[in-house]
Every structure is written in C-alpha cells, then in structure tokens.
Amino acid sequence: MIGFNKPYFTGKETDYMQDAVKRQKISGNGHYTQLCHQFFQKKYGFEHVLLTHSCTAALEMAALLINIQPGDEVIIPSYTFVSTANAFILRGAKVVFVDSSAENPNLDASTIAPLINARTKAIVVVHYAGIACNMGEILDLVKRHRLFLVEDAAQAIDSFWEGKPLGSLGHLACFSFHETKNIISGEGGMLVINDPAFAARAEILWEKGTNRSAFFRGEVDKYTWVDIGSSFLPSDMIAAFLYAQLENIDDIQQRRRAIWQLYFDQLQVLAEQNLVQLPHIPAYATNNAHMFYLVCQSASQRQSLIEYLKAQQIHAIFHYLSLHESPFYSVLHDGRNLPQTQRYTDCLVRLPFYYELSEPEQVRVCEHISQFYLKNKVMAS
Ligand SMILES: *Cc1c(COP(=O)(O)O)cnc(C)c1O
C-alpha cells in the first residue's frame, strides 16, 4: 500500500525532547522555543515570531490582534481549511467568501475589489500548496482601503513571492507544523508579527493576558493581568521536536522538491492532452513542494480515479469542501456562485506525498494514473 502521508522523522527529535526534560523546564517559552524563534528570525528575517499549539491558534490570535468585532467583514477564500474562517467567526465576523482563480486554487485577486465596503476589516489570503497568491494586486487593495492583511501560510513554509518569504507580507501570518505539513511537530504552529505595533500585545495574548514574558526579561518587577488572552504557547517538548525538523529543513525541502518534479514530469503528457490540470506556479511564486495535486474533468471522473488507484493499493485523497456551501455557513453566505471553488471542491485530487516516498513507488502511481486515462480511454472534454 502506498499511503497518502507518512510523517518524516530526522532522528534527532526524541534526543532533543529528552534534553528538554533534562533541562527541567518543559512548559512554554523555554530553551527550544527560543531556538525555534531564532531560527525563523535568522533564516527568513521574521522579526517577531511566537510558536503556538497550531496554525488554528495562530489564526485566532490574529483575529484578536486586529480586534475583529461583531459585524466586521473579512474576505476569505472559500476553498480552504475551516480554521481560516473559524478564527474570525469566533470573534463575530461576517465572512465574505471569494472565489479561486482558474489557474490554481489560490483566491482570484481580481474578484476582491467589489466585495470591499465600509465594514470590511481584513483580507485573509491562503497560499494554497505553498504557492504565493497574487500579492501585488492584494497588497495594493490592502493599502488603498486601509485593511489588515493576514496570511494563512499553513502550507507555505520556505516559499517566496517576488523573492520575499511567504509569511512576511501580511500584518500577521500563521504557519502550521501539523503532521501533514512539510515541517512537523505533530500539532504545532506559529504566528509571525510583521507589524511591530502588534508585537507587545501578541506576547501578552500568548501568555494568558499577562506580561509574564516582559517579567522574565526583567522589564517589569512583577507580572500581572494586563489584557485578555489565552494559553497559546506550546510545551518546550514540542518545540524540541520542531527544532530537530528545522535543523534539517534544507534536506527535507530538497527531497520534497525532487518528488514534486518527478510527478510533474511524468504527468505532463496527460496535461498536454487536456486530460488533467496540473499545478500552475506563476512567475512571481516559488514552489515549496507542499503537495502534488491534479484537477480532474468532473466529480465522477475524480471518484473513479480515486477508486481505481485504491484498487492498485494507492491512497489518493480529495479535500476542501467549499466553505460557502458547508452546513454551517451556507445559510449565512450571500448566495454568490463561486464556480472555480466548486470545480476544485469536485475535481481536485492529491497524490501520495512524503519524504520517504521512493522513486519506483512514484513511477507506479504515475503509471496507474496514465493507465486510468489512456487505457480507460477517458475523453478529453
Ligand atoms: C493545515 C492548515 C490549517 C490548520 O493548521 P493546524 O496547525 O492544524 O491548526 C489551516 N489552514 C490551512 C490552509 C491549512 O492547510
């Protein structure tokens, strides 16, 4: 069986976790948390970062920091994970869903402008598959209408837009280290604070509404309750695990890019015959090889392909049921059709993708996909 995902361990994770235990400080903001923070500051130039339990938690912090109030409108792609929207819904926001682009599942920046009104407070972009959104157009809108920009960079570690790291473009950005991402700690995430005006408050929200971090730096002589907050910081054991991954990021990324390229090269022939749509990487974006997907011609064709692969012991999956049509939000959605979102919801399929996926296994996956399309004589539309 070729599984869909298999977490990769560098070998140092449990050593560092044991070391964290030996240091006798396993709560949050310890030795390894600091090492992880420094790593991101140095490698990507993120000035203020805070590890969190998850990207979901980082998104919730972002919604608190930009002070979302009931009735505020937030523009979010419909083709995304629920947390992108939930974090803002929790604060009473009205989510205004935007469609994806035809060339890839990222939001279609050209459709945002008509959605902006006096109640619009923020745009949340999702860099799907680690490929940058069309940030030129979005940064322009954000500036012109004085909006907040939050990046859901859950899938976007080590990827760039016009040479700038994803996660450095919004006022705030959120990363995930969930087991299914490129760099993992089981559950885990990080908030990047690019607007320094949010830095002090972010640390307070992170530490249950107290100025505890300032106290430990010796900036105040006692720590106390100064604001709202929660417990968003992970145990230092999680940070220790994560640090072992980060030390190997270049190796992990190199391997993942090779896997991605092999899929792309082998499946190109199907795209040339218009049998499938392959990932599109615009000139302003880089590829961090978070996933490999293809877009089938119909929902039924995708269903048949997944079943065909399953019979060959290959586990391919689909994801993201459009949020605007979800049981929770369909009654609140304003009724606009989002045809590209619907197309990806119906037709996108993700192939097995993990560090230890071997070349012969990948070739086998590609051969079966080709067989499905060519031997079964699926017609190009
Ligand atoms: C994985 C993912 C999340 C959630 O990340 P967690 O760390 O599991 O909370 C949010 N948004 C997107 C786009 C994701 O891919």
| pLDDT tens digits for range 291-319 | 999 999 999 999 999 999 999 999 999 99
Q: How far apart are CA 280 and CA 133, in angstroms?
A: 11
**Per-residue pLDDT tens over the stretch 114-162:** 999 999 999 999 999 999 999 999 999 999 999 999 999 999 999 999 9
Q: Is the pLDDT of residue 7 over 60?
A: yes
Q: Which of 152, 183, 317 to mutate to test the pocket of ligand 1 (most atoms within 8 A of CB)?
A: 152
Average pLDDT over residues 97-101: 98
Pick the atom of ligand 1 nearest to 58's CA: 9
Q: Residue 369: CB partners within 8 Å, gap ≥ 6?
A: 267, 270, 294, 305, 309, 351
Q: Which atom of ligand 1 is least distant from the CA of 181?
A: 1
Give residue 176 CA to ligand 1 midpoint distance, Å: 6
Q: What tens digit of pLDDT does each residue of 311-370 get?
A: 999 999 999 999 999 999 999 999 999 999 999 999 999 999 999 999 999 999 999 999
Give the β-pairing of 172-176 and 164-165.
Answer: unpaired
CA of 279 to the centre of ligand 1 (A): 20
Q: Which helix (H) or strand (E) holds 345?
A: helix 339-347
Mutate to test the pocket of ligand 1, among 76, 176, 242 (most ligand atoms within 8 A of CB): 176
- Tell the burial category of 78 from Cβ atoms under 10 Å away from its Cβ (0-12, 13-18, 19+): buried
- Whether residue 3 is predicted with pLDDT greater than 90 in this model: the reply is yes
How far away, in angstroms, is 39 Cα from ligand 1 center?
A: 21
Residue range 249-260: mean pLDDT, rounded: 98
CB 63 within 8 A of CB 87: yes
Question: Distance, CA 224 to ligand 1 centroid (Å)?
Answer: 32
Closest C-alpha to ligand 1, atom 14: 154
Asked if the model's pLDDT at residue 280 lies above 70, the reply is yes
Q: Is the pLDDT of residue 200 over 80?
A: yes
- Cα 150 to ligand 1 centroid, rounded to whole Å: 14
Residue with CA closest to ligand 1 atom 2: 154
> Exposure of 217 by Cβ count < 10 A (0-12 exposed, 13-18 middle, 19+ buried)?
exposed
CA-based torsion, 131, 134, 136, 140: positive or negative? negative
With the most atoms of ligand 1 within 8 angstroms of its CB, the residue from 172, 177, 178, 322 to mutate is 178
Checking if the pLDDT of 76 tops 70, the result is yes
Mutate to test the pocket of ligand 1, among 5, 50, 53, 56 (most ligand atoms within 8 A of CB): 56
**What separation in Å is there between the alpha carbon of 24 and the centre of ligand 1?**
31
Residue 253 pLDDT > 80, yes or no? yes
- Indicate the DSSP class of residue 285: B
Query: How far does the centroid of ligand 1 lie from the alpha carbon of residue 379, in Å?
Result: 36
Ligand 1 centre distance from Cα of residue 156 (Å): 10
- Residue 377 has what pLDDT? 61
- Between the CA of 223 and the centroid of ligand 1 the distance, in Å, is 33
Question: What amino acid occupies position 33?
Answer: T
Task: Return d(Cα 311, Cα 303) in angstroms, integer.
Answer: 12
Average pLDDT of the residues of the chain: 97
List ligand 1's pocket residues with C-beta within 6 A. 54-56, 80-81, 83-84, 126, 152, 154-155, 176, 178, 189
**Contact of 194 with 47, CB cutoff 8 Å:** yes
Predicted TM-score (pTM) of this structure: 0.97
pLDDT-above-90 percentage for the chain: 97
pLDDT band at 375 (very low <50, low <70, confident <90, very high): confident
> What pLDDT is stored for residue 374 in this prediction?
82
* pLDDT confidence of residue 378: 61
Return the biggest CA–CA distance within the chain: 75
Residue nearest to atom 5 of ligand 1 (CA): 55
Per residue in 24-75, pLDDT tens? Answer: 999 999 999 999 999 999 999 999 999 999 999 999 999 999 999 999 999 9
Please state the atom number of ligand 1 nearest to the C-alpha of residue 187: 7
Residue 379, pLDDT > 90, answer no
Nearest-atom number in ligand 1 for the CA of 177 is 7
